[in-house]
Amino acid sequence: MNKPVSQLTIHMVTSLDGFVAKNDGGVSWMHSTGHYPAGTELTEEAIAHFLEKIDCYLMGSRTYEQALMLGWPYGDKPVIVLTHRQLTSSKNNVRFYAGDLRGLIKEDLKTQYQNIWLVGGPSLVQDCLHLQLADSIVLTIAPVVLGKGVAFFKQLDQEQQLSLKAVTAYQDGMVELTYTINK
C-alpha cells in the first residue's frame, strides 16, 4: 500500500491590500468585523474538525511570539519555529530550528507528517516558494485595508503559477482562497 503524499500548505491571513501585520507587528485587525450573511458559518466544531487534520506547524519566530500572546491556538501538535535567536519555550511540542530549510522540510518533516501547515511569516513563505517546497497556499483575506504594514509578498525572484482549488466566503466577511502550486 502506498503511503499518502505529504503536503506543505502555506496559510496566511492578509488584509485586502496584502499586509499580514501592522508596522508594529500588531494583528488585532484579523478579528473581522465584516458581515456577509450569505457566507459560510464558521462554528467551533467545524474549526476543531479541520484542525484535527493538521499534523505539524511550521512558523517563524515572530509568528511564534504572536501566537503566545494570542493564546496559543496550536494545542499539543508539533510546532517547529525557525529562528536564529535564542528562544525558549515551556511547551513540550515546540522545537526551535536554525539550519537548512530544504533539509528540514524534505528530509525531516515530510517523512514524518502528512499535513504540514506553514503559518507565518512572510520571509519564511518566500523562502519556501523560492525553494519550491510548498504544495499549496491557503490565503484568508480579512475585510480591512491597512494602507501600510508588513507585506505578505515583498519580492519574489520568480513567477509562480497557481491553480485555484476552492473559494469560501464566511459570514464574518473573510474570504478564503485555496490554491495548488503548479510545479
Q: What is the pTM of this model?
A: 0.93
Average pLDDT over residues 30-46: 89
Question: Who's near 94: CB < 8 A, 6+ residues apart?
Answer: 64, 79, 80, 81
Average pLDDT over residues 67-78: 92
Q: How many C-beta atoms lie closer than 10 Å to residue 27's C-beta?
A: 19
Q: What pLDDT does residue 1 have?
A: 58
| Torsion over CA: 59, 50, 176, 158 (sign) | positive
In the predicted model, is pLDDT for residue 32 greater than 90?
no
Instruction: State residue 54's pLDDT score.
Output: 97
pLDDT of residue 159: 87
Flag whether pLDDT at 3 surpasses 70. Answer: no
- Tens of pLDDT, residue by residue over 88-118, are 899 999 999 999 999 999 999 999 999 999 9
**pLDDT at residue 4, as a whole number:** 73
For residue 165, give the H/E element and its range: strand 162-169
pLDDT per residue as tens digits for the range 113-171: 999 999 988 999 999 999 999 999 999 999 999 999 999 987 777 888 999 999 999 99
CA distance 55 to 109: 10
